[in-house]
Chains A and B, each alone.
Chain A
Amino acid sequence: MPMNRAARIAILVAEEAGRRGATIAVVDVCTAAVAALPVGGAGLSAMSPTVASYPLCSTDDISEQLEELQLTLGEGPCMDAFTRQTSVSTADLRGGRAQVRWPVFASAAAEAGAGAVYSFPLQLGAIRPGVLDLYAPTPLDLSPDELADAMGFADSATQVLLGTLTARREGLTIGDGDAPDGYRAQIDQASGMLTAQLGVGIEQAFLRLRAYAYAHGERLSAVAAAVVDRRLRFPPDDEPDRTA
């Protein structure tokens, strides 16, 4: 059976981290995406509906400028990708549609050296920590397969931010791994329950669930099952927030 897309991408990301001699970070997702796709650079911004967004990383000067331009101007494909939670493809930034949608950004981005921009939201239900942007110096049409890969890189960035990326290959295991997702529904349900138990947002609830599993050496799915079965509760003030 051929290796699935997520596993292949996780290994590419892990290899970038290995090359840096560091643990996996979102910059490795960006670097791996640029190596795997016909794009010039990648950048990632942490975004939130409630607090100010900020750039997390970028692979070159142009992608850095693109991230900062959008966050400063408050317009651009990454803003749209975040608001609508769908990917936004702009194969030609100088085209009329881009100019109409983002009059200021489109010109500034072209000036900075971008010809095409593709933005992919990071998402896990209501958890949406940011957006991955890819740019090419000249107009570029990504193929359906390349787009699927790009969405796969966005998924891996979500997993890096949530601490759940697992890469496994001969002689290489990164991340703590979890049950193949037979019990995914319970993890999502438990995260939802913890928002009410702890009075926190969904992303924080997920991180608390994961931190508990890590601290107790248990599988995330096992901890989630205990929460859903009401065998485990997270009192709001009982233990310090280890994920802060």
Chain B
Amino acid sequence: MDEQLLARTFVELADNLVADFDLIDFLRLLTDRCVEVLGAGAAGVLLADRNGELRVMAASDEQVRLLELFQLQNDEGPCLECFHGNTVVTVPDLTGQAHRWPRFVRQARLRGFTGVQALPMRLRNEVVGALNLFSADPGVFGQATAPLGQALADVATISVLQQRSAARSTLLNEQLQTALNSRVLIEQAKGKLSERLDIDMEQAFTALRGYARAHNRPLSELARAFVDGTETLGPLPSS
């Protein structure tokens, strides 16, 4: 474990939790850092909507195939077990786990993943979501990686509670709703931009985020303005 990288990561995450931070942008940064720090192949943050269904808030990779893999876990999978059991679920090697989650294991392996770890996002006694990690190599995740993963999951929980647009609300329910709605906004904006520039969804996300940063605007607000047509996005930073 690279201690310096670790320290830098937590400082960077703390630095980004300032006034006016954008939740989706922040969670994407967090999933990217999970990949670097934990040696994961992919990471995703899922939050429960008020019906108890898990929804993807951010993933280290915007590819739809990967998003689907996360979402599939509304039916079965380690993330769902983690969420309902309020417990860390660690599977260093998916080989031999097909009896446990037949569809999930098949889909994960199809996408080249062999290891998985799911960490609960806890708020007092309630579980509000989960941080989901995948690895391409068996044996990356184990008891040793759980505490660090949990620390990152806790940072994700804090960020949901700190988001600006729900600052007036003390209601967890509304904060989650605002977060989930921001995600829908980003997807709509990605679709519009990908069509306009004939690029894929990951490139569209990168371009939107780059523009938001270059112009110092919260990503969700920019996405809304772009979908509404009040923001045309001038010259985009190269993506």
Contacts and interface: CB of A to CB of B under 8 A. Distances in A.
Interface of A: 4-7, 49, 84-87, 123-127, 144, 147-148, 151-152, 180-186, 188-197, 201-202, 228
A87 B71 contact: no
A144 B126 CA distance: 14
Contact of B74 (A49, A126, A180, A190): A180
A210 B164 CA distance: 33
Interface in B176-195: 177-178, 181, 184-185, 187-195
B192 A185 contact: no
A182 B68 contact: yes
Interface of B: 50-53, 55-56, 64, 67-68, 71-72, 74-75, 165-166, 168-169, 171, 173-174, 177-178, 181, 184-185, 187-196, 201, 223-224, 227-229
A197 B195 contact: yes
15 contacts: A86-B168, A125-B181, A125-B187, A125-B227, A126-B227, A148-B50, A152-B50, A181-B71, A186-B64, A192-B187, A192-B191, A192-B192, A193-B191, A194-B195, A202-B227
A233 to B, nearest CB: 9
Contact of B67 (A147, A148, A185, A190): A185
B228 A49 contact: yes
Contact of A193 (B56, B71, B75, B192): B192
A87 B181 CA distance: 13
Nearest to B71: A182
Given A184-B55, A186-B64, A147 B171 contact: yes
B168 A181 contact: no
A125 B185 contact: yes
B187 A228 contact: no
